[in-house]
Amino acid sequence: MPDANARPDALSRRRFLALSGGVGSALALAACGGTKTAPAGTPAGGNGGATYTGPKVSITFWNGFTGSDGQTAKKMIDQFNAATPNIHVDMNIYRWEDFFQKLPAAVQSGNGPDVAAMHLDDMPTQAAQNVIVPLDDVASALGLKESDFSPAVWKGGLYKGKRYGIPIDVHNLGLFYNKTVMQQAGLDPNKPPQTKDDYMAALEALKGKGIQGCWVPPFQFTGGFMFESLLWQFGGDVFDSGVGKAAWDSDAGVQALTWMVDLVKKGYSPTNVGQDADYLALKNGKNVFNWQGIWQVNEVAALKTFEIGTAPLPKIGPNGGVWGNSHQFVLPRKTGNDANKANASRYFISWFTKNAVTWAESAKVPARKDLVDSPQFAAMTGLKSFGQDVQYVHFPPSVPGIGDALTELYTGVNNAVLLKQDPAGALSTAAQRATKILQDNSKKYGA
């Protein structure tokens, strides 16, 4: 929960869910509300959405875009409806936790939407429960291929060898830094640290000025994401190759979490950092370097008191490694077989993804490489560094219920950062529990 002094617009757990979908809770809701019994029939594909020449139809689009991304989505849908008079899109926006209760039930009753958008790590659970259907025909008809995207985001839309998602965006972790305070402390505000040595030197200089320069939050948002990024940077991984065992308790994991804990022990971070307090302190000039999500870019750009810059995550370990996720279009299973609606839905997906530079205005990196390389995206200076880091982004594996296991990881990080357990012990305990969850989920979802 946010601390008592948090502003209403602070990135609380609930607000993060609203902005980008949940990891653990949304999956749990989906698991409760889904079905392993497939409704009869799948949508007809037409020409995969390459064009639409049919009669006037109305299609429904469900998502959880309750933040600024919802306003941007509405703007784009208004543009689509004006440009495509034979297709009218009606959009329903729900809180993500409500979305994953409503969607499986609506699909099972035959009243599901024609198109939906969800988080990459939500798709395997929905696919396993037959809530969404493959859309390889869309990718094929539109000529989409892996080289159009980063490998991670393209492969992230696959489940058991079939494509269930068409990528819309990437939203990842980056370095936010308070330029104003850096300058006041005698540091170059135009040279954010990008190596471990430079990062520690900057923290030491700030400490000499009485500033704790890198607040380490013990919560998933965003301390857990910070740990995952560091884990990959030190050469580790969250799970083993078969996703049957948690692997974060490796030497790489211990190095990563020890580095975070040492920031607390050595006074570069306060102890017991509250939920969102690291980000609030950045905006208030009390924290200088904040490993934070792209979703805060628009807010910090509007600040008047302090100037906040964005940069790629520093490489604390020898490798590139960045936490990220992706919104992707999916097709819910339909009981009917309306070819016109099915093709109109696919055409809408095609149009939206081709115009995702507009979507980037809600603080996202377009999934398509050509859009990231476009002059329009280049003009969005606050997002540039996040686009540069997409090459290092790792996504959760495409396994149903993966968020259940990740919850244990975040508990382990919490215990270590709060100095309740040593890093190795916290990671080991969490990994044992997560491995048991993976085994149980394998039986539960029939993997």
Q: Which residue has the higher pLDDT, 317 or 44?
A: 317
Mean pLDDT is lowest, of 30-39, 266-275, 376-385, 391-400, for 30-39
Report the percent of the chain where pLDDT is more than 90. Answer: 85
Classify residue 94 as exposed, middle or buried by CB count within 10 Å of its CB (0-12, 13-18, 19+).
Answer: middle
Arithmetic mean of pLDDT over the chain: 90
Reduced to 3 DSSP states, what percent helix, strand and coil does the chain have, rounded to the nearest 5?
50, 15, 35
Residue 25 in this model has a pLDDT that exceeds 50:
no
For the chain, domain boundaries? 16-168+326-394, 172-324+401-444
- Backbone φ, ψ for residue 328 (5° rounding): -140, 150
Q: How confident is the model at residue 19 (pLDDT cuts 50, 70, 90)?
A: very low
- Asked if the 172-324+401-444 domain carries CATH number 3.40.190.10, the reply is yes
Q: Which helix (H) or strand (E) holds 100?
A: helix 96-109
Crossing angle of helices 24-33 and 402-417, rounded to 10°? 150
CB atoms near residue 391 (< 10 Å)? 12
Residues 132 and 333 sit within 8 Å (Cβ to Cβ): yes
Do residues 197 and 306 touch, judged by C-beta distance below 8 A?
Answer: no
Q: How far apart are CA 184 and CA 80, in angstroms?
A: 48
Q: What is the pLDDT of residue 45?
A: 56
**166 or 36: whose pLDDT is higher?**
166
**Would strands 322-325 and 308-311 be described as parallel, antiparallel, or unpaired?**
unpaired
Q: Does 43 have pLDDT greater than 80?
A: no
Q: 172-324+401-444: same fold as 16-168+326-394? A: yes
Separation between Cα atoms, residue 173 and residue 149, nearest integer Å: 18
Give me the percent of the chain exceeding a pLDDT of 70: 89
Inform me whether the pLDDT recorded for 28 exceeds 60. no
Question: In this predicted structure, which of 36-40, 142-146, 168-172, 279-283 has the lowest mean pLDDT?
Answer: 36-40
Q: Is the pLDDT of residue 262 over 90?
A: yes
**Angstrom distance (rounded) from CA 201 to CA 211:** 13
**Token pair 């995206």 in the structure block, residue:** 377
Give the pLDDT score at 272: 97
Q: Which residues pair with 162 in a beta bridge?
A: 159
Using one digit for the tens of pLDDT, what is the confidence trace for 384-437? Answer: 999 999 999 999 999 999 999 999 999 999 999 999 999 999 999 999 999 999
Per-residue confidence (pLDDT) for residue 68, from 0 to 100 = 87
Q: Is the pLDDT of residue 37 over 80?
A: no
pLDDT above 60 (res 10): no
Strand residue runs (E) in 179-279: none
pLDDT above 70 (res 40): no
Is 108 or 34 the better-scoring residue by pLDDT?
108
Residue found under tokens 């941007």:
72
* Residue 294's pLDDT band (cuts 50, 70, 90): very high
pLDDT of 46: 65
What is the DSSP-derived secondary structure letter of residue 37?
Answer: S
For 122-142, the pLDDT digits (tens) are: 999 999 999 999 999 899 988
DSSP label at residue 141: H
Compute the radius of gyration of the chain from its Cα atoms. 22
- What angle do helix axes 402-417 and 251-265 make, rounded to 10 degrees? 40
Q: How confident is the model at residue 427, as a pLDDT?
A: 98
| Position 18 pLDDT exceeds 90 | no
| Residue 273: per-residue pLDDT | 98
pLDDT of residue 150 exceeding 90, the answer is no
Query: For 234-331, where are the alpha helices, taking DSSP H only?
Result: 251-265, 277-283, 297-301
At 44 the pLDDT is 55
| Side chain identity, residue 155 | K
Residue 1 has pLDDT above 60, yes or no: no
Question: Can you give the pLDDT at residue 3?
Answer: 35
Burial class (CB in 10 A: 0-12, 13-18, 19+), 75: middle
DSSP character at residue 4 = T
* Domain 16-168+326-394, CATH among 3.40.640.10, 3.40.190.10, 3.10.450.230, 3.20.20.80: 3.40.190.10
Q: Check pLDDT > 90 for residue 219.
A: yes
Check: CB of residue 363 under 8 Å from CB of residue 294.
yes
Does position 48 have pLDDT exceeding 80, yes or no?
no
The answer to whether residues 381 and 300 touch, using CB atoms and an 8 Å cutoff, is: no
Given a contact cutoff of 8 angstroms between Cβ atoms, the answer to whether 180 and 304 are in contact is no
